[in-house]
Structure 1
Amino acid sequence: MAVPKRKMSRSNTRSRRAQWKTAAVHLVACSNKACRQPKPQHVACPTCGQYDGRQVVQPA
């Protein structure tokens, strides 16, 4: 396993960590024609409980 020869400076560490960013969740309209609420991609709709035209969970 590779081991660093010297301690990484605080500024180098912080510069590297500054590149870690999060992206906003991409929302799409629900495929259910009666619902059409925004929901995350590839996730069952939290409003109507459907995914890909099938009822997969009970709506909240």
Structure 2
Amino acid sequence: MAVPKRRHSKSRKRIKKAYFKIAPLNLRACPKCGTKTRPHYACVECGTYKNRQIVKIKEKKATPKDA
């Protein structure tokens, strides 16, 4: 089994871990409804992708609140 010959210094470790940072999401506005969505994904609100209806979104029913 392989065993490291030398100890890695703090700066060596930190330089190596600097590449594993979280990148911010690229968001774009949906051309139909204007909500922010990820590119190459169908819109969550209206269900369109490339100006075509892909997913059928059920309309939310308004529930009357009793006093």
TM-score (normalised: structure 1): 0.69
Q: Residues 23-55 of structure 1: CA distance to partner in whole angstroms, max 9, x if unpaired?
A: 1111111021xx111111111000000000111
**Greater than 2 Å deviation, 4+ residue runs:** 3-8
Match of 1:38 among 14, 36, 39: 36
Count of residue pairs brought into register by the alignment = 56
Residue 46 of structure 2 aligns to a residue whose secondary structure is coil
TM-score (normalised: structure 2): 0.63
RMSD: 2.3
| Distance in 2 of aligned mates of 1:5 and 1:51 | 51
Pair member with larger Rg: 2
State the identity as a percent. 30
| Distance in 2 of aligned mates of 1:48 and 1:18 | 38
Aligned to 2:5: 6
Aligned to 2:47: 49
